[in-house]
Structure 1
Amino acid sequence: MSAPQQASEGSRAVKRTIEFIRHHRLQKGDRLPSERELSDRFGVTRSSVREALAVLDALRLTERRPKSGIFLRNALEDSGLDSLVIQANLDLPFDERTMRDVSEARVIFETHAIRLACARRTDADLNRLRELVANYSSRVQAELNVANEDVEFHLAMAAASQNAIIVRTLTPLFLMSFQWRQKYFSSPVVRRRSLADHQEFVATIADRDETRAAALVQKHVHSAFDEVRAMAEGNEQPESHNQWEGREE
């Protein structure tokens, strides 16, 4: 088996194991089937199952107990952000509660980050943000997807807070959203509106206007969450932020 095939089979084994845990609602301390049983069930080699379990062990989801078997160390809902990033990369959908929690966490961390950015930003930070917005604008005008550029801008905005832990906390929250972010930014309406928000973000940071900056973060993130939820339900994306106008932040 070639290396790419083995890697693909290993990823499939990780995905199928997580799906098995979800489907059977396994909780901390529950026993998983043996390597051989998982191999037969998933139609992959035992080495691929072993590779998958090594990944889950590293994420502190599973553990091997000598002469006892494979057990769930932590329930999926208690796992760390790295586990959620892997689930997203495997294209495993999150339930609405998880998506809501991600949205709330982003608001909490980005609101504090932008307040700090207003107080601590340097001229170099502003130049970097303006450079990113200019590139963003060029891609919007060229009708190109800006999913990656959006992440880069938000992390640069967080970096202007001069707090590396905030940036490291926000990074997996953005990585979790990779799959839906590509689809979300396929809309020209979303791209243009997002560009306008980014331009306003830079203006508020330049003016050191913490109150306006914090309100914009909440409006920006909440609106994106509503639109992503609409996409998941098969509805059309809202084309304005009107539903958030007048809302208490």
Structure 2
Amino acid sequence: MPFRPVTPEKLSTAVVRQVEELILRGILRPGERLPAERELAERLGVSRPSLREAIAQLQQTGLLSARPGAGVYVADVLGSAFSPALIALFERHDEAAMDYLSFRRDMEALAAERAARLGSDTDLAVVAAIFDKMQAAHDTRDADQEAALDAQFHMAIVEASHNVVMLHMMRSMYELLRGGVFYNRQVMFRQQTTRTALLEQHRAIHDALVARDAAGSRAAVEAHLNFVERALIDQHRAERHEEIARQRLDHEMES
């Protein structure tokens, strides 16, 4: 018979499994500090020796790291798939920037579709709360705060999709996403795009999600990022035209 005796699970093993699940689900984030040992042991209902054993195992697997005199943190390696040098390289080349935007459109459209179908009411409440903050920032004309919330809004949709691979992949790209949101908005403002137009695009995404319209959510995300792409292309074209015009002007002034 295939049955084997059931053995009680060590407390440290249960702690390891719980922390791993929190990291896997994106609840504990890279760089986040764990509570102090006494507090964490009390929250988990285990002895401090059992907790120390669990933390040691998690450090050995690279999921946690200890900082002398500062505490224990979720390892930064989980959120650093792209080095600063590679991020800077992407930013300097238009081809990479457009590929990144195309990748975002594909991934976020899928995430929005999944979030509409699979996200809990609480997931969608988080998205709604961030959108409300975007509306407030828009009303007070706080452009920097509105842009920061823009990035949070898109990440909240990914989180609501409940695909842990997609979650960690997109979170590892957060610096690119955050930088891209600020850059994209600056470009579009130079193109005379209004902040109201961007807010309304996010409202369309929000409304489709709240209505649990999976196809509408996907379409709203695609429409928004298509709009961003067109604005970037128009800006690049305008910059090239301006360079040519300046060359003509310089030639006329010299002749």
TM-score of the superposed pair, with normalisation by structure 2: 0.53
* CA distance in 1 between partners of 2:175 and 2:92 (Å): 13
| Mapped partners of 1:113, 1:161: distance in 2 | 5
CA distance in 2 between partners of 1:206 and 1:183 (Å) = 28
Q: Does 1:197 align with 2:201?
A: yes
Please provide the CA RMSD for this pair: 2.7
**Number of the residue aligned with 1:166:** 166
CA separation of 1:124 and 1:86: change in aligned 2, threshold 3 A: farther
- Which residue, 97, 100, 105 being the options, matches 1:99? 97
> Aligned residue for 2:124?
126
Alpha-carbon distance in 2 for matches of 1:120, 1:172? 22
The structure-2 alpha-carbon separation of the partners of 1:138 and 1:224, relative to structure 1 and needing over 3 Å to count, comes to same
Counterpart code for 1:156: A
Candidates 204, 212, 217, aligned match of 2:216: 212
Q: Match of 1:152?
A: 152
Deviations 1:179-206 (A, max 9, x none): 4533443538442222112222122112
CA distance in 1, matches of 2:86, 2:147: 19
Determine the structure 2 residue equivalent to 1:113.
111
Q: Distance in 1 between matches of 2:153 and 2:105?
A: 16
Q: Residues 191 and 174 (structure 1 numbering): CA distance in 2 closer, same or farther, change over 3 Å?
A: farther
Distance 1:119 1:178, change over 3 A: closer
Runs (5+) with no aligned partner, structure 2: 1-79, 240-255
Match of 2:228, SS state, is: helix
One-letter code of the match for 2:218? A
Higher helix share: 2
3-state secondary structure, aligned to 2:92 = coil
Distance in 1 of aligned mates of 2:231 and 2:135: 22
Q: Distance in 2 between matches of 1:81 and 1:229?
A: 27
Query: Are the aligned partners of 1:91 and 1:179 in contact in 2 as well (CA < 8 Å)?
Result: no
Aligned to 1:222, the other structure's residue is in SS state: helix
- TM-score, normalising length from structure 1? 0.54
Q: Distance in 1 between matches of 2:222 and 2:207?
A: 16
* C-alpha distance 234-93 of structure 1, shift in aligned 2 (>3 A): farther
Whether the 8 Å contact between 2:90 and 2:96 is mirrored in structure 1 is no
What SS does the corresponding residue of 1:226 show, helix, strand or coil? Answer: helix
Q: What is the CA deviation profile of residues 101-147 of structure 1, one whole-angstrom value per residue up to 9, with x for unaligned ones?
A: 11121122111111110111111112111111111011111111222
Distance 2:128 2:220 in 1: 17
Gap regions ≥5 residues in structure 1? 1-79, 236-249
Q: Report how many residues are paired.
A: 155
Counterparts of 1:173-188 in structure 2, within 5 Å, are 173-179=173-179, 181-186=181-186, 187=189
CA distance in 2, matches of 1:144, 1:165: 34
Structure exhibiting the larger radius of gyration computed from Cα positions: 2
Q: Which moved more, 1:159-168 or 1:173-182?
A: 173-182
Q: 1:221 to 1:174 in 2, by over 3 A?
A: farther
State the distance in 2 between where 1:165 and 1:172 align.
11
1:45-84 matched pairs, under 5 angstroms? 82-83=82-83
